[in-house]
Amino acid sequence: MPLITVDEATQKHFDYIIVGGGTSGLALATRLSENLKTSVLVVEAGQGHFHDPKVDIPSNFGSVLNDPKYVWDFTTTEQPNLNGRVLPMPRGKGLGGSSNINWLVWCKPPTADIDAIEKLGNPGWIGGSMVDAYPGLTFNPEYRVAEGSIQISFPPQSYTVDKVVRDAILQIPNVEVIGDPTGGDISGTWMCSANVDPRNRERITAASGYLLPHMKRENLSVLTECSACRILLSDPQHAGGDLTASAVEFIYHEQRHVVHGSSVVLCAGPVKSPQILELSGVGNPRILSDIGVDVKIDLPGVGENLQEHTFLTTTFELRPDAPVECFDLFVDPDHRKLAEETYASGAGYRMGITSQTFIHLSIANPAESGDIILRAEQEVEALKKSGSPPAGLCEQYDIQLDNLKNPSLPDQQVMILYGSYPVPCPEKRLITLFGGQHHPFSRGSIHAMTQDPLRHARIDPNHISTNIDLELSIQDVKLMRKIAATEPLKSAILQEITPGLPACVSDKDLREWAKAEICAMCHTIGTCSMLPREKNGVVDPYLKVYGSSNLYIADLLIIPLHFAAHAQTVAYVIGEKAADILTSKGQE
């Protein structure tokens, strides 16, 4: 049983201390501890959540989002370009992290997006093979069951309305059905695969997929309810070269403790990881000085380059005779009972999001795409001339502009939710279309505000701080409206509820509505980017923090440029790849 006490942990010395037992952290811990001579400690702030129906039953997704037992209650700063709104930023807390609370959508990013990571100075992060290199993360039509991996399956039933929406989408020229969205090509419309175990229809998380099958490994230790505060680094005055991480300080039941290790890997997610680095003296000297922390490693990229997927929703009321089984019915006790009985019988129950469409702007809106791309180029050119973009950002923008012109790389996503969002409305028959943006030009930041590790950092995603991001967002609304106005969906719809016709028609109306409605998808990346140091990088392609000899970062926040896919697959791949990197390093 890897769960150990604080007293046991503080008396030992570990080969690796992994801070954060979430999606990447548990994949990494499990892989590293395959070598029984390697001792691994995971330090996780939350609880275990083993065999918890709130996590395991897929259709419970969304139900714990306000429960601090499962979720960090992060919020953003007031967002000036979204009418000063403060947005919630939930993240999973406890073993499994965000894999416990996510919406179970499983897909693989397009190859071009992953290639862009390599182009930015990261040899070895090769696109096409990135996910395929890890068979435990690849969909297998025969549902091969491999110990210690994530099982992926398609939902047991699709919704009747799925076909209606899909048939409408397929009327758009050049949109095709994709049979296997895990194959690396997600440009088209597809039935959504999910991290649901086909044997028992339970959600597979980083905890149940990676950790639980290895609970007897004696070299794998896990501390829960221990919140890491900082990493203890050698003194720069005496180090002479790269600094050495020797220990992690954490809080358990209001007391501070220290655990020692030969290497430390940060996997505490995009919000907490930069905060822990700053409290350890790693970051921008100006920011560290503001909070009274001595500089150990001068790394201005810490907490910067934040990128996030944003989305807008449009809701439509269906005709009384239209086919729809909606989530809102879950508030009806009889429907809920029937759903639970169906689930308990082993027949499964609809797990959540079933249909997805990813398409390029030129397919969604051929009439306007050329002009929009031109305006994007002009905006980037003006930014370059202003001299204000931080080091390395223009290179990212150039890749983004190239990608915006690549019709095989999707920028827009439409996802269907059967019901009203975010508040249920069971008395009406509603469907909500989600329109998502995948390649934002806006960049934000996350920084510690005080030396108190338990006080949340200042989270400023700086959403929609470029005109092009607002423009692309309203293109999502136009696409969703186009789908709704196409047969056979058109005949099923009684009226548009949001944005609402005829009040919101012009681009000007849509921009104002978007500012009041845009939300974030919880796919934050970039806050400790894997980039060359002079381009605001924090880690090198071997995941090592610049200026350190044994401090690593291995979760989503190392990804320097956003990709068109939901994020969990990449988080798992980072954990797996980090294990490969650290293991081969050990063999050198």
Ligand X SMILES: Cc1cc2nc3c(=O)[nH]c(=O)nc-3n(C[C@H](O)[C@H](O)[C@H](O)COP(=O)(O)OP(=O)(O)OC[C@H]3O[C@@H](n4cnc5c(N)ncnc54)[C@H](O)[C@@H]3O)c2cc1C
C-beta closer to ligand X: residue 17 or 464: 17
Report which DSSP code applies to 536.
T
C-beta closer to ligand X: residue 192 or 361: 192
Is 38 annotated as belonging to a binding site? no
| Smallest separation, CB 81 to ligand X (Å) | 22
C-beta closer to ligand X: residue 440 or 499: 440
- The CA distance from 353 to 102, in Å, is 11
Q: Is the dihedral of CA 382, 388, 394, 400 positive or negative?
A: negative
- The CA distance from 260 to 462, in Å, is 37
C-beta closer to ligand X: residue 91 or 463: 91
Q: How far is CA 495 from CA 18, 165, 490, 501, in A?
A: 52, 15, 10, 8
- The CA distance from 48 to 70, in Å, is 10
Residue with CB nearest ligand X? 22
Beta-carbon contacts of residue 411 (< 8 Å; ≥ 6 apart): 360, 361, 403, 404, 437, 438, 439, 472, 564
- The CA distance from 424 to 447, in Å, is 35
Is 103 annotated as belonging to a binding site? yes
Secondary structure element (H or E) that encloses residue 431, with its range? strand 430-437
Is 104 annotated as belonging to a binding site? yes
Question: Strands 40-43, 220-223: parallel, antiparallel or unpaired by DSSP?
Answer: parallel
| Smallest separation, CB 389 to ligand X (Å) | 26
CB atoms near residue 509 (< 10 Å): 15
Encode 63-77: b = buried (16+ Cβ within 10 Å), e = exposed: ebeeeeebbbebebe
Q: Which of 360, 447, 562, 566 is catalytic?
A: 566
Backbone angles phi, psi at 543, to 5 degrees: 70, 10
Is 302 annotated as belonging to a binding site? no
C-beta closer to ligand X: residue 349 or 572: 572
| Smallest separation, CB 362 to ligand X (Å) | 26
- The CA distance from 228 to 263, in Å, is 15
C-beta closer to ligand X: residue 98 or 369: 98
- The CA distance from 367 to 191, in Å, is 28
CB atoms near residue 486 (< 10 Å): 16
Is 433 annotated as belonging to a binding site? no
- The CA distance from 569 to 458, in Å, is 27
| Smallest separation, CB 352 to ligand X (Å) | 8
HEC letters along 234-277: CCHHHHCCCECEEEEEEEECCEEEEEEEEEEEECCHHHHHHHHH
Known catalytic membership, residue 439: no
Answer whether 343's CB lies under 8 Å from 349's CB.
yes
| Smallest separation, CB 75 to ligand X (Å) | 13
C-beta closer to ligand X: residue 108 or 535: 108
C-beta closer to ligand X: residue 64 or 243: 64
Please choose, from the candidates 35, 29, 94, 115, the residue with its C-alpha nearest in 3D space to the C-alpha of residue 409. 115
Known catalytic membership, residue 13: no
Residue ranges binding ligand X (CB under 6 A): 19-25, 43-46, 90-94, 97-99, 101-105, 227-228, 267-269, 272, 276, 522-523, 555-556, 566-569, 571
| Smallest separation, CB 101 to ligand X (Å) | 5
Answer whether 184's CB lies under 8 Å from 110's CB.
yes
Q: Which of 49, 257, 309, 523 is catalytic?
A: 523
Q: What single-letter amino acid sits at 245?
A: A
| Smallest separation, CB 374 to ligand X (Å) | 33
Beta-carbon contacts of residue 229 (< 8 Å; ≥ 6 apart): 249, 250, 251, 256, 276, 279, 453
C-beta closer to ligand X: residue 271 or 322: 271
Evaluate the omega torsion of the peptide bond into residue 502 and state whether it is cis, within 30 degrees of 0.
Answer: yes
| Smallest separation, CB 147 to ligand X (Å) | 21
Q: What angle do CA 316, 321, 326 make, to 5 degrees?
A: 55
| Smallest separation, CB 248 to ligand X (Å) | 9
Backbone angles phi, psi at 576, to 5 degrees: -65, -45
Q: Is 294 exposed, middle or buried (0-12, 13-18, 19+ CB in 10 A)?
A: exposed
Is 23 annotated as belonging to a binding site? yes
Active site residues: 523, 566
In the annotated binding site for FAD, the residues are 23-24, 102-105
Binding site, annotated residues: 23-24, 102-105
